[in-house]
Structure 1
């Protein structure tokens, strides 16, 4: 009898532990020094600060109206202080509890500010419309010009602070691990908390995935109902104007982008998110690299959260969120975006916990590895 061939999947680990945990504080310090020097130039010259009162399209930015003579020196002070703190984090191995908490508080606050408070919805919009621009722009000069105009000083600044924010988030985590006596690479110490095991992470990761899929699905549903000609949850005159100008199609595209992201989010708890499925020729049966899922998901989680905060800010611009039965869809689904971003971050971390395996630096593991699984490829011997 002919039997289907199977491929045994084994987890692969690098031969030597990475040196990135030791390098991260230096990189965070270097970034802070460079950005601080730029901010100091804004302060000394009185020109160049791209945010706040100098940003004409800051309606959804938390920094709207920030005076340049306040914002520039504030950014310079925070960044230059970060250069010093980063070097201390790189060099210090033993620190008193007070100093440790102070450093951790600075690192966490800095990462939070650079990642979530300074960027706004324009980063998310640019990323969301990028696939459309790549597909259509070669044939549409107006779209090319519009996309080029969107990449201005504000966007470049947002890109820079996102890099710094991720560096500071990773640096703070590494410092917290090291000063707590845990492994810098994986964070494991004397014991692994019950909620951090693979079994527990699978459970709470599924709940997070459910939220991270439902929110963009609701947003996409409302936008596609609009372009189908149904003014559900929106003022009829606004719907007519949006249909006439074509603006509603932009929302439908962004909703589709979010829906595709929601489908990919399912991979964080599905088998095809761990092993490439059979239809992916050349890759089928191979393990999905952990970073291939974690890195883009973490990036999207951040820009969705920061963009969602901007949408909530816009919704509160009149002092209250005005939601009613006739206009709920215009702002209602977007107000859930911070929840979407946080849920995606939690789901991504759960995926990482389940997939990280035995640490190559300390040799510890959360729980015994399950036996290798056989994946049917459909090929005959």
Structure 2
């Protein structure tokens, strides 16, 4: 293995450790000084700031261990435990920042509820993403993946034309079903109230609704079908070329995390506790909305995992010539 092979991936743990630690310390300061003018409001339906502190400091600790290479001397089960902790802490930080997508969307309509909350949510989500990047890098080392492409040759997809696994198809169509349930509830609600459908009135909100419907129909299909990886023939200028992976993967991760976090965590919690206006709404409507959004988000995230692996750059070393280029 080349000496510099791990140098790039190891930068992420140092950045993630410092960023997560700073994020956690900020929350500790706000806990100790609740009246501080810099303290943003606590997130609704969250366990509280101590959850952010615990997740952030856990992320900082595991990323520091990954950065220093200490874990490479551990037994394999211990290394997998470290990877699992990094995944939990990173995903937890993103879930704790579940209001970030809503804040970004409201910005499009010229509404900002609290700049401090927006920046804090962005910082928490960034800490989560950095921690997940560290988790992936360490996981590749534990799995002895190829240092050139990150694949475990013989078990990972080698090219974009490789078949999509069945579980990814299932996840994509679960997302499609969740979107269908939510749109059905929206249509029924509008028809019952004798109001025009919100995606047919020509308003900016109608454009947003149309984009969301595309994110629940075209996007999950693009994650698992060939047209999402290679431009089809009817796209004449680009036919046969690779689709930029982040053109599909970026929206899938953003929408999936936003829906799963906001509705799967906050929405479900509010529904169970009878908070907000959910207690007065019909059960059928709330069920279609909450479960529809949640399954939609989780399906996108699961299908995105398959798409991420299938759209990696081709390995520069053909199969059978990478045995000496493994991670230790």
TM (norm. structure 1) is: 0.66
More relative contact order in 1 or in 2 (CA 8 Å, sep 6+)? 1
Task: State the match for 2:210 in structure 1.
Answer: 256
Residue 181 of structure 2 corresponds to residue 218 of structure 1: yes
Q: Distance in 2 between matches of 1:292 and 1:80?
A: 33
Residue by residue over 1:213-243, the C-alpha shift from the partner in whole angstroms, topping out at 9 and shown as x without a partner, is 221132123223433xx22xxxxxxx48x99
- Taking the aligned partners of 1:334 and 1:252, their CA distance within structure 2 comes to 21
- Give the 5 Å matches for 1:4-153: 20-46=8-34, 47=36, 48-52=38-42, 58=44, 61-63=45-47, 66=48, 71=49, 75-76=52-53, 78-92=55-69, 93-97=72-76, 99-116=78-95, 118-120=96-98, 122-128=99-105, 133=108, 144=110, 147=111, 149-153=112-116
**Matched positions, count:** 303
For 1:308, the equivalent position in structure 2 comes to 263
Cα root mean square deviation, aligned: 3.8
Gaps of 5+ in 2: 321-328
Q: Distance in 1 between matches of 2:242 and 2:6?
A: 20
Query: Which residue number in structure 1 is paired with residue 124 of structure 2?
Result: 161
Q: What corresponds to 1:375 in structure 2? A: none
User: Is residue 265 from structure 1 mapped to residue 255 from structure 2 by the alignment?
Assistant: no
* TM-score normalised by length of structure 2: 0.75
Q: Which runs of 5+ in 1 are unaligned?
A: 1-15, 134-142, 232-238, 366-381
**Higher Rg of the two aligned structures:** 1
Q: Work out the CA distance in 2 between the residues paired with 1:28 and 1:363.
A: 33
Distance 1:324 1:82 in 2: 40
